[in-house]
Amino acid sequence: MNLKYDKVQDVIQASELMVFPDELETEAALNDLNLDPDQNYFKRDNWSSDYISKLALEKKITEEEISGKQNFSVLHINCRSVLSKLTEIKELTEKLQISILALSETWLDNDEDDTVKLTGYNFVGRARTEERGGGVGFLIKDNLNFQIYNPLKGKSESKTFESLFIRVKLRKTAPIIGIIYRPPGHGLKDFNDEFEELTSCLKITLQRLCCLETSILTY
């Protein structure tokens, strides 16, 4: 998805973006399997994004494996308690051969990272510190080299979203991959200001930022 704006705030002012429909008086129809997810969030639907069902993606991956292609894939799910969903997550990773699975709402305590065990994957997480709930993390294929990356090093932590970033070493590149979760209850303007600071620290603009909606898969 390519947003042709330099700042999130510019998008909001242009009245082209409905990022959080639950904060609006009228909401788009949700949970319709035939509905392009962008239509839940954007007032225009001429994005070039392609969406695919889990079964169709599984078929595509199988076809590419047969042809000898090697894929690097990143998927995000809003798991709402990772420990209670490990069986479903295991099934998902086995079927789709996911390289990195980003998780929001892990609902873990600070000392529970070691309890997330999935064969073939390493887990890194960041728990919410002040209250229960929330939390973000990654399940990363154990054949990938990575390190935790902090783009806000030396700056105050965000108050409107939770985030975690890793840098992954691939054959020809080392992309930075991040998971960002915005809990309810924070103003959109404050979020935009902090998000803009984050993108500035990452030295990127929205033309180069690839986002995965938090509603891709929710358990």
pLDDT top residue among 40 and 146: 146
32 found inside a domain: yes
Backbone angles phi, psi at 199, to 5 degrees: -65, -30
CATH number of the domain residue 41 falls in: 3.60.10
Number of C-beta neighbours around residue 210 at 10 A: 11
- pLDDT tens, position by position, 55-106: 887 888 788 777 777 678 899 999 999 999 999 999 999 888 899 999 999 9
With tokens 């990773």, the residue in question is: 93
How many angstroms separate the CA atoms of 38 and 172, rounded?
A: 32
* 213 within domain boundaries: no
Higher local confidence (pLDDT), 159 or 42: 159
Q: Hey, what are 18's tokens?
A: 């409905």
pLDDT tens digits for range 177-190? 999 998 888 788 89
* Nearest in space to 134 (alpha carbons), one of 165, 115, 162: 162
The boundaries of the domain holding residue 121 are 8-201
pLDDT, residue 40, reads: 53
Report if residue 107 sits inside a domain.
yes
Longest dimension (CA), the chain: 50
Domain membership of residue 120 (yes or no) is yes
Number of domains in the chain: 1
End-to-end alpha carbon distance in the chain? 24
Contact 219, 54 (CB under 8 A): no
On whether residue 209 sits in a domain, the answer given is no
When the pLDDT of each residue in the chain is averaged and rounded to a whole number, the result is 76
In a domain? residue 123: yes
In a domain, 218, yes or no: no
> What would the pLDDT profile of 14-27 be if each residue is shown by its tens digit?
434 444 444 444 44
Q: Is 217 part of any domain?
A: no
In whole angstroms, give the CA distance from residue 86 to residue 123: 12
Which pLDDT score is estimated for 155?
A: 83
